[in-house]
Amino acid sequence: MIREDVGDERFCILVDEVKDESNREQLAIILRFVNSCGILTECFFAIKSVSNITSLNLKNEISDILARHDLQLSKMRGQGYDGANNMRGTWNGLQALFLRDYPFAYYVHCFAHRLQLALISAAKDVSVIWEFFSHLDNVINIINSSSQCISELQNAQRKEIEHMLSIGERMYSATCNVLEYLKVHCSKASSRAEVRGAYRHFACFEFVFNLLLMHKIMRITDVLCQALQKKSLNILAVMRFVSTAKLILQELREEGWEVFLQEVKDFCSRHNIDILDLDSSYMIGRCRDETTVEHHYHFDVFNEAIDFVLMELSTRFNDKSVELFSLSVALDPRNSFESFNSDDICTLAKKFYPKDFSSQDICALEYELKYYVHEVIADQRFQVSTLVELCQELTNSGKSDTYIMITRLIRLVLTLPVSTATTERAFSAMKLLKTTLRNKMEDDFLADCMTLYIERELALTIDVNSVVDEFFVSKPRQVQV
């Protein structure tokens, strides 16, 4: 059914691998394409057990699966993977091997993974933030390894404590209570000393300042993170989301210090935490610095943390260095097609999609664009905010039959991958099915069962056990448990 839906359209592959319950490598393949109705679609297509994850072996496995369903690799116009070396390697990675044979199957590093790497870099390379997460990790480890006498308290609070950053202030007092309890009831003196040290860091102005700062930064980037996992997202929308996130962070840096500092003071007051004398000289070890405590927290912590996140976002989402993305902006319908540029659109088709546009097609595109300005851009029906909506509107209105070249180019740009979140959803569904007991089934049977379940799980239509029961009835002899 998916193959029929793809039809003769160009497509993109999203690929990732993960180890299953039996420690075998499983390869998931997702197809991204624009169907005949002009709807951008990401469909789970296959999951395959692979003997090794070398780039050459993965290329062969993917090629075999696509060939089996008569999906021609020559029509592949995009590859979406994470940042693993075997995937993104410039010379021998999977993307490089495909590009040698199919030079228009452009590789895009998963945008959600880029965001993750940006936040990890900020946590590691800004010293005060690294120290904060070290202390936070220590607190969580202490509570999770607590003795039997407080197991009920631990079980009641564990999940909330582990997600304290996303939950916010509500769990701070509860965590303090757990640590205070452990200070008295730990059986070993060394454990009590460790808890006292953790509590000393946890209930101080510096920790609270960093906690609230990271909470604010993570709340801003979480909106971007959720957006990057949507199936219908396209490259142009992603770059707008990234730009907006950077703008909000910049506003926080330039205008949010006074409000943020007051929030920290209020938090400390509510939880009986001593507020530092912000006008006093800042101490570095045993030496006094020329700057004040407020200056240190404002410029060396608040500004530095935000600056580093901004720098990482600018580096990892640098669309200006990628000409393909820059030219694609000319198709963006946002704000009444304010970015429209006929020359850029023709250059995009000519330079990046020569296999899809002959010289005659380019000539036809140039003349279509002249009419496009007066018939589409000026028409209120097409005043939409995303390229996905524009593609659907062109199809529904029948204009796609008139503006054949423009529609073709829009479909190609939409096909470019954004993130591999759909593969992660497939793996989540796989883990629900492929338990230790079910791993004792024959491989072929389990593969069929697993594929059916993942398809239905992603569609949210059926329960795992009903799928397994269906196979027990239809193929009882294949089950070895």
Do residues 145 and 221 both lie within one domain?
yes
From the CA atom positions of the chain, what is the Rg in Å? 27
Do residues 11 and 85 both lie within one domain?
yes
Is 327 among the domain residues? no
Last residue of a domain, one of 382, 415, 448: 415
CB 103 within 8 A of CB 110: no
Do residues 132 and 60 both lie within one domain?
no
The parent domain of residue 403 ranges over 341-415
Strand partners, 288: 283
pLDDT recorded at residue 148: 46
CB 433 within 8 A of CB 408: no
**In the structure, what pLDDT confidence band is assigned to residue 357 with cuts at 50, 70 and 90?**
very high
Is 245 among the domain residues? yes
pLDDT recorded at residue 466: 58
With a cut of 70, say whether residue 350 has pLDDT above it: yes
Token pair in block for residue 257: 């210090």
CB 355 within 8 A of CB 104: yes
Do residues 20 and 142 both lie within one domain?
no
Q: Which helix (H) or strand (E) holds 138?
A: helix 127-144
Is 331 among the domain residues? no
Is 30 among the domain residues? yes
Do residues 217 and 301 both lie within one domain?
yes
pLDDT recorded at residue 152: 44
C-alpha to C-alpha distance for 84 and 94, rounded to whole angstroms: 10
Based on the number of CB atoms within 10 Å of its own CB, is 228 exposed (0-12), middle (13-18) or buried (19 or more)? buried
Supply φ then ψ for residue 161, to 5 degrees.
Answer: -65, -40
Residue 271 three-state SS: coil
With a cut of 80, say whether residue 295 has pLDDT above it: yes
CB 252 within 8 A of CB 216: yes
Do residues 48 and 164 both lie within one domain?
no
With a cut of 60, say whether residue 454 has pLDDT above it: yes
C-alpha to C-alpha distance for 201 and 208, rounded to whole angstroms: 9
Do residues 182 and 310 both lie within one domain?
yes
Residue 35 three-state SS: coil
Do residues 308 and 222 both lie within one domain?
yes
Do residues 144 and 191 both lie within one domain?
yes
With a cut of 90, say whether residue 429 has pLDDT above it: no
Q: Tell me: the pLDDT tens digits for 79-138? A: 999 878 888 888 889 999 999 999 999 998 888 888 998 889 888 888 888 999 888 888
| Residue that wins the pLDDT comparison between 110 and 453 | 110
Last residue of a domain, one of 381, 415, 449: 415
Do residues 309 and 386 both lie within one domain?
no
DSSP 395-460: HHHTGGGTSHHHHHHHHHHHHS----HHHHHHHHHHHHH--TTGGGS-HHHHHHHHHHHHHHHHTT
CATH code, 55: 3.30.420
C-alpha to C-alpha distance for 43 and 135, rounded to whole angstroms: 42
Q: What is the mean pLDDT of residues 371-383?
A: 95
C-alpha to C-alpha distance for 122 and 130, rounded to whole angstroms: 8
pLDDT recorded at residue 162: 55
Is 326 among the domain residues? no
Is 322 among the domain residues? no
How many structural domains compose the chain?
3
Do residues 258 and 380 both lie within one domain?
no
Q: Tell me: the pLDDT tens digits for 177-187? A: 777 777 777 76
With a cut of 70, say whether residue 17 has pLDDT above it: yes
**In the structure, what pLDDT confidence band is assigned to residue 11 with cuts at 50, 70 and 90?**
very high
pLDDT recorded at residue 233: 81
Q: What is the mean pLDDT of residues 474-479?
A: 47
| Residue that wins the pLDDT comparison between 254 and 423 | 254
Do residues 353 and 435 both lie within one domain?
no
Closest CA to 60 of 108, 6, 104, 97: 97
Long-range contacts for 61-64 (Cβ within 8 Å, ≥24 apart)?
61/27, 62/13, 62/15, 62/27, 62/29
Based on the number of CB atoms within 10 Å of its own CB, is 33 exposed (0-12), middle (13-18) or buried (19 or more)? buried
Is 381 among the domain residues? yes
Is 330 among the domain residues? no
Last residue of a domain, one of 387, 415, 443: 415
Q: Which helix (H) or strand (E) holds 388?
A: helix 387-397
